[in-house]
Amino acid sequence: MTYGIPQNPAAIIAGAKATPALMAEIDKALGFNRPLIVRYGLYLWNLLHGSLGYSFIMHEAVGPMVARAVVPTLALTVFAVVMELILGFGFGLLSDWLRSGIGDAVLRISTVTFLSLPAYWLGVVCLSVVAFRLGWFPLGGYSFAGAILPAFAVALPGSAYYARLLRSSLQQVWMEDYARTALAKGVSPARVLVRHVLRNALLTIVTYFGLDLANLLSGLIIIEVIFDWPGLGSLTNQAIGNLDGSVIMAVTLVAACAVIMANFLTDVLYLWVDPRISYA
Amino acid sequence: MALGRPVFRLGVPALTSLALLGCAGVTGAKGMIHKGPVNGGTVTMALDSNIATLDPADWTDIPSMYAMDEIYSTLVTYAENSTTIVPDLATWTVANGGRTYIFHLNPKARFSNGVPVTAADVKFSLDRVTSYNASGQGPAPYGSSYSNIVGYNRWFNNGSAPKPGVEGLAGIQVLNPQTVVIHLHTPAGSFLNTMALMSAVIVDPAVVKRWGPKDYEYHAVGSGSFKVQSWTPGREMVLVPNPYYFGPKPHVSKVVIEENVSPQLQLLRFEKGQLSFDINIDSGTYLTIRSNPKLAKLFHKAPYNEIVFLKMNLSHKPMQNKLVRQALNYAVNKQLLVKVVLNGLGQPASQVLPPKVPGYNTSLKPYPYNPGLARELLKKAGYPNGLKLNYYYLSANPDVVRMALILEQTMAAAGFHLQLHAVSQIGTYFPFIINPKNNWDLAFSDWPQDYPNAQDFLYNLYERLLTLNPNARQWVDTPKFSRLINQADALPTSKSAEADRLYAEADAIGQQNAYWVNLYYPDQEALVQSWMAPNLNLYMHPVKGPQFQYMWIHRP
């Protein structure tokens, strides 16, 4: 699709002052004047040999560029997911415990508010208030402390989904016969929750976790740009701005692999959560 | 403990000197006093894009220029505080009526790996950048800037890379290890300007050959005041002083250039003191600066040599009529554009040449906004009901989008009905508006200088206009215009006043014939910390990027 847009990478390589003659020479030298199907074939051939191509705009092989960007995105994803799960489980369990009380209502309204907050807006607020005015965290940049705010900006809306899913799942499982029997036999609610209810409520959480992980691993474009986080999102943003086809294709490939891996992880987690499930 | 006699004798003059130094301190920008150059410290700046390359054969962009200007040397360069060409690696003499330049290299010049810079390196560097496939990406974008060197066409079409046994550019001769002679086809007053471009930096042939075209830039070695300590492309480059540099040693001990930081984040970091200066100020961040007294005090602006204009498709019938072209010029409210689009950071344009470029014609005034006169001219041209025009612009820049909306409104009053067409991608936009067969009538364009010489504006812009649209020659006043600018460029630098007069006359022809609509000259801006060296040319040089070599840091 990128190469279907009427654009000439030679114009970007040669600069705004390039003459048509210069652009034509560059097209010829770099093979941009070859038919798209030929270029695609060459791309697949190179891919089979472990090469993601070369960015003539960034003047670098795409493989190392993507490899450099994957690590920060992975780090941010792990951080964000851990925060999401801690916050989501925290809100979800608390909401379940405070069931039908005022506290539960407050929590439910809060989670609706959180999941309505756009992550990019929250990111800008965190940056300008928490990092800039209060000075509690760095102003973006690639560091451990610098990861906290972008992770939080992603995690807060995301945790609301986990909280609400968990709450409704728990409510369903609490109504099951085994849970009610355990309570009737005098087992403490906490023990029933941990030993019986929680694990059975996790299946929907695991399903959502897979989708969430895939989304995060594909790169959070706006968050990474706001916080100057050098991950796949920032790389994608640059590549789209420059119509850098090789980088866009590489990032798309990585995103597709991330979705496959996340789905695989989800399937493995199902086995752990519910041993009755079998893929045989 | 009482001071002994010898200490007292030393101490009083020393104390007196210190006191005098303090009193004589440099008056900085906005009245801040600094105590003079101090050694040490780290200068940190940020860019809103990445440094694309350190290879002169691939260079086109400004961020790369910022780094390359510090790492490399050219034969000549610009003075610290002006656009005067001064020696860098070499002094020079001119012979043969301006057709021969003899460069004498500084014998102390060394690359940052300790290897001396020789005339053979100069020849290699220029042969490389003018060859057909210098860096594996086809011709170097600025290679044709040297097409006036004898033998250029033969060498370029040869398709070879520079190596032993291959002659390269016949017009570049190595007389001895410290002397290189360059022969030109015709005298050219702008030749030394082209030798100060980043495409003319001198590289170490051994390093180029060792790493090859694709990896060279990650191991770039130059003879500039700094060398690369580390570079994570797209993230950060760290420069440290070149221990073998032949010129004045830098005051600072490190320069950090952060890449791909948005202008908004740069402003926040500057306010926190994490950036030494900020030169990525857009119209949005300027409003924030203006409303913050602390930042406003640190804000500076200076004229910049750039012209923003509306290009006309001269192959379309209406544009071939001088009355229509003049009507277009009267239909644009330049004052309003400067006020609203630039927030006052610029001035309306009267001609193609910006005010600081030699040859700027001081007697020319901008076409005033006069919709009534524009309508009259359109009527005389045979368009009593006005004219519908397709206007194309780059939508990636919000200022350009705002400009389009203002033009649509203000030009309607003059009888021009613009159909706006936004294009988001540069790779689509430029090829589209270069081709006169496409369906555009007016297009947003800008032309920042490559060098402060009228040739860069009048010849490079004008020649482009004509070669792209050969039919334009029949109704654009070419012979006199071409004659004037060619005559001016052929004059030696000792006759610069006469050259300026010829350029001014050519510029007036362009303005009177209204080949395009000159809009404005944008300023360059900078926020500079109060503890940085006060010379504003270090951050806003009329030609060069930030001059880290001369910066220093004084923290009270």
Q: Please list every residue in chain B whose beta carbon sits closer than 8 Å to the beta carbon of residue A58.
A: 50, 52, 233-234
Instruction: Count Cβ neighbours within 10 Å for each residue of B473-485 and write b for 16 or more, e otherwise.
Output: eeebeeeebbebb
B479 or B254, greater pLDDT = B254
- Residue pair A114/A88 in contact (Cβ under 8 Å)? The answer is no
Distance from CA of B137 to the nearest CA of A (A): 6
Helices (H) and strands (E) in chain B, counts: 18, 20
Return the closest-CA partner of residue B35 out of B25, B45, B43.
B25
- Give the lowest-confidence range in A214-223, B242-251, B404-413: A214-223
Q: In chain A, whose CA is at the least distance from the CA of B234?
A: A230
> Is the predicted pLDDT of residue B102 greater than 80, yes or no?
yes
Record the tokens describing residue B424, joined without a space. Answer: 């988001």
Record the tokens describing residue B263, joined without a space. Answer: 């202008």
pTM of the model: 0.88
pLDDT at B464: 67
Return the closest-CA partner of residue B325 out of B469, B518, B481.
B518
Angle at the Cα of B135 (from B131 to B137), degrees rounded to 5? 95
Q: Which residue has the tokens 């695991």?
A: A206
Question: pLDDT averaged over chain B?
Answer: 88
pLDDT digits (tens, 9 = 90+) for A232-260: 999 999 888 878 888 999 999 988 988 89
Partner-chain residue, chosen from B139, B396, B460, that has the shortest CB–CB distance to A25: B139
Q: How far apart are CA B512 and CA B534, in angstroms?
A: 42
Q: In chain A, whose CA is at the least distance from the CA of B395?
A: A241
Q: Which residue has the tokens 């001198």?
A: B202
> Is the predicted pLDDT of residue B446 greater than 60, yes or no?
yes
Return the closest-CA partner of residue A254 out of A69, A9, A82, A75.
A69
pLDDT digits (tens, 9 = 90+) for A9-54: 777 777 777 777 788 888 877 777 788 888 888 888 888 888 888 8
Partner-chain residue, chosen from B141, B447, B467, that has the shortest CB–CB distance to A14: B141
pLDDT digits (tens, 9 = 90+) for B4-54: 333 333 333 333 333 333 333 333 445 444 567 889 999 999 999 999 999
Q: Please list every residue in chain B whose beta carbon sits closer than 8 Å to the beta carbon of residue A73.
A: none
The H or E element that residue B87 is part of is strand B85-87
Q: How many beta-carbon pairs under 8 angstroms link A with B?
A: 130
Q: Please list every residue in chain A whose beta carbon sits closer than 8 Å to the beta carbon of residue B49.
A: 238
pLDDT confidence bin for B471, thresholds 50/70/90: low
- Residue pair A152/A136 in contact (Cβ under 8 Å)? The answer is no
Mutate to test the interface with B, among A51, A56, A59 (most CBs of B within 10 A): A59
Distance from CA of A250 to the nearest CA of B (A): 17
Q: Please list every residue in chain B whose beta carbon sits closer than 8 Å to the beta carbon of residue A27.
A: 138
For every residue of B509-535, DSSP letters joined together read HHHHHTSSEEEEEEEEEEEE-TTB-S-
pLDDT at A5: 62
pLDDT confidence bin for A271, thresholds 50/70/90: confident
Contact B426 A140 (CB under 8 A): no
Q: How far apart are CA B164 and CA B423, in angstroms?
A: 47
Q: Please list every residue in chain A whose beta carbon sits closer than 8 Å to the beta carbon of residue B137.
A: 13, 26, 29-30, 56, 59
Contact A19 B467 (CB under 8 A): yes
- Give the lowest-confidence range in A142-151, B29-38, B358-367: B29-38
pLDDT at B465: 66
pLDDT digits (tens, 9 = 90+) for A85-124: 999 999 999 888 888 778 888 888 999 999 899 988 999 9
pLDDT at B332: 97
Question: pLDDT averaged over chain A?
Answer: 87
- Average of pLDDT values for B279-300? 92
Q: Please list every residue in chain A whose beta carbon sits closer than 8 Å to the beta carbon of residue B396.
A: 241
- Identify residue A255 by its one-letter amino acid code: A
Report the phi/psi class of residue A240: left, alpha or beta, with left for phi > 0 and alpha for psi in -120 to 50: alpha
- Average of pLDDT values for B266-276? 96
- Average of pLDDT values for B199-215? 94
Record the tokens describing residue B353, joined without a space. Answer: 């040449």
Rank A212-216, B34-38, B146-150 by mean pLDDT and report only the highest. Answer: B146-150
Contact B272 A139 (CB under 8 A): yes
